[in-house]
Amino acid sequence: MFLKDQVALVTGAGQGIGRAAATALAQAGASVAVVDIDAALAESVATSLAAHQHRALAIAADVGDVASIERMVAGTIAEFGRIDILLNNAGVTRRADIMELTEADWDRIHRVNAKGVFFCLQSVARTMIPRRSGRIINIASIAGKGYAGASNAAYAASKGAVISLTKTAAQQLAWANINVNAICPGVTRTALSEANLRVSAQQQGLSVAAMEKRRAETIPLRRANDPEDVAAMVVFLASPGARNITGQSLNVDGGLILD
């Protein structure tokens, strides 16, 4: 229970990586603010955590809206007193070729994946600075490092922005003893990625099972991530063992990208 007495705020925590990370942080001892745009999903996760004697708070918030972010942060502090760990996980995408993307696609993706990450980081950091302590973990993607299998170019650009933001934020918040790192998942079994898999299978005239087999064969370790694989890295970066790691973008991808 090395995160005992710590408070974590997890965005996009209703399913996938966010749900797995919220669960793993709670199991490590943290109290968790479970944030999702879908109030029912957030409540479901918080209820599940509470059933296992973990302190949890469900918050419905739209991270693309700054006023909603501010209410999210205020609500967490009102309940738990502070925020020690921020996991910026909320994200959106869709499978599309570069010539198919629209202005609406660009705005929707960057509103959540880039703008949302920045203003969540800024709002939470504002509460961490007076205490001279904090861990901020951003979920980026190997798509932001040039992975050819990215769902689309706008998504790749948004995740590249997260990687760059992580480096600059780490430099500018280090004086306040705030660590800022990014995790770059590769292929991960989530509702979002499975929806993209079904689109790819349809486009290529394959069954979903055949497409999944083909996808696994491109990964050196021959397996896609489970959300728990990414959650394990989240817990490590939140732990005392990662106290001197900052400004890094760490891949969890089975060897797809080597850097």
Q: With b meaning 16 or more CB within 10 Å and e meaning fewer, what string describes 209-232?
A: eebbeebeeebeeeebbebebbbe
- To the query of whether residue 155 is one of the catalytic residues in this protein, the response is yes
Catalytic one of 80, 119, 147, 155: 155
**Angle subtended at Cα 50 by Cα 67 and Cα 30, rounded to the nearest 5 degrees:** 70
Measure the CA–CA gap between 92 and 242, rounded to whole angstroms.
28
- For residue 113, report the phi and psi dihedrals to the nearest 5 degrees: -75, -30
Q: From 176, 153, 157, 177, select the one nearest 165 (Cα to Cα).
A: 157
Helix, coil or strand: residue 83? coil
Catalytic residues: 155
